[in-house]
Amino acid sequence: MSQKNIDKFNKLKLKYLKKISDLGINKVKLDKDFIESKLNNDDVNGLKNFIWRKLNSLVKINDKNFSKLQLIYFEMEQFIKSEQKSKDSTYVRTLYFESLIKSSEELSKGVLLEVLIIVQNSPHICDACKKDKGKTYNFNYALNNHILPHKDCTCKSGCICNMGVSGKRDSNGRLIYID
Ligand SMILES: [Zn+2]
Ligand SMILES: [Zn+2]
């Protein structure tokens, strides 16, 4: 057993078990599942699998709760990016944006929405991403089409573009209501 792996194991366990219980898995149940998994205290890969399984079970529990799913997919993407670097996180990012859009619809309360594409100001951003900078999409279009991450992106670390959903305003600056 190497001390380095034990330290890494403890750090990961502390960080992600907290996140998972914050996302809604009962702490007592989580600790019990952890003990039952009988992981060695230096089995970093085993722990990563445990964390990934729990994140997936959160998706299952919350499959209709889009604001919650948004948070879960966000954590999943961060987890892949920092702990499973060989894996592609694009699909999780796609699911993140899908739940962001669906939860915005639920929260919109009859206000017509639009989607703004936010692209970072950086020389490393590819042309496909740059092309969409500051563009706004009709909300219904965003609901039914894949907008982000950019499909034709060639940025070195993948598309990091973001979106902002807000109420569309008329020429007098007033929100538009759909009835
Ligand atoms: Zn992009
Ligand atoms: Zn790009």
Q: What is the pLDDT of residue 126?
A: 97
DSSP assignment of 10-52 equals HHHHHHHHHHHHHTT--HHHHHHHHHHTT--TT-HHHHHHHHH
Q: Return the ligand number nearest the Cα of 124.
A: 2
Q: Return the ligand number nearest the Cα of 157.
A: 2
Torsion of CA 68, 71, 73, 78, to 10 degrees: -160
CA 12 to chain centre: 19
pTM: 0.92
Q: Return the ligand number nearest the Cα of 150.
A: 1
CA of 153 to the centre of ligand 2 (A): 4
Q: What is the pLDDT of residue 52?
A: 98
> Which residues lie at CB < 5 A from ion ligand 1?
129, 150, 153, 159, 161
CA of 157 to the centre of ligand 1 (A): 11
CA of 84 to the centre of ligand 2 (A): 21
Per-residue pLDDT of the chain (179 residues; tens, 9 = 90+): 689 999 999 999 999 999 999 999 999 999 999 999 999 999 999 999 999 999 999 999 999 999 999 999 999 999 999 999 889 999 999 999 999 999 999 888 889 999 999 999 999 999 999 999 999 999 999 999 999 999 999 999 899 999 999 999 999 999 999 87
Q: What is the pLDDT of residue 179?
A: 74
Torsion of CA 119, 125, 128, 134, to 10 degrees: 20
CA 65 to chain centre: 14
Using alpha carbons, select from 139, 140, 94, 93 the residue that is nearest to residue 116: 139
Round to whole Å and give the CA distance between 16 and 102.
Answer: 26
- Give me Rg for the CA atoms of the chain: 20
- Residue 146, φ and ψ in degrees, nearest 5: -80, 120
Q: What is the pLDDT of residue 107?
A: 87
Q: Return the ligand number nearest the Cα of 152.
A: 2
